[in-house]
Chains A and B, each alone.
Chain A
Amino acid sequence: EPEVTQTPSHQVTQMGQEVILRCVPISNHLYFYWYRQILGQKVEFLVSFYNNEISEKSEIFDDQFSVERPDGSNFTLKIRSTKLEDSAMYFCASSVDRASTDTQYFGPGTRLTVL
């Protein structure tokens, strides 16, 4: 069964450094998403991406964040200058159709630790 994959599984970085989290969505999916989950808390929407552009973003997704689909398979989340509070699990998800009507499939996540 096809699945969303994410790399790395765990990323440790120093405060102020840039990180890039990578995701490979399911191949026939058209809508892509990033979520984060601080330990013990709920899953929070960051951004959705369709047709090579951001379709929606949350208040969390400020100028420090960016997303890109550099080729036909990868979908990346970049944090330019990490802060301690960016430490969280980051999940990528994808769906065939828009989120309002379709199931999202989540990747296993990348645990980001900012020291």
Chain B
Amino acid sequence: EAGVAQSPRYKIIEKRQSVAFWCNPISGHATLYWYQQILGQGPKLLIQFQNNGVVDDSQLPKDRFSAERLKGVDSTLKIQPAKLEDSAVYLCASRLQNTEAFFGQGTRLTVV
């Protein structure tokens, strides 16, 4: 079974630039999450989708972060403009309801 796919694996940008990350969840998984993981910390939920609808985006910094899952399958997360403190690993995960979540390998973002 194919896992959660994320791209790119690594990205280095200058502050104030824009960046986008892509995630393709496991086929059939209705629930999709984006997490931000800063070095030495646990993953912090940014946004949760159920199919193409947003369930929880309470911790998404909406002035600069946006995410969409238009067809209820793959998803993109965008940062515009980026700040130094956005340097982190961005993890995408998917699951069936109330079962374990599967993670992609993440995108490591460095903002300089």
**A associates with B:** no
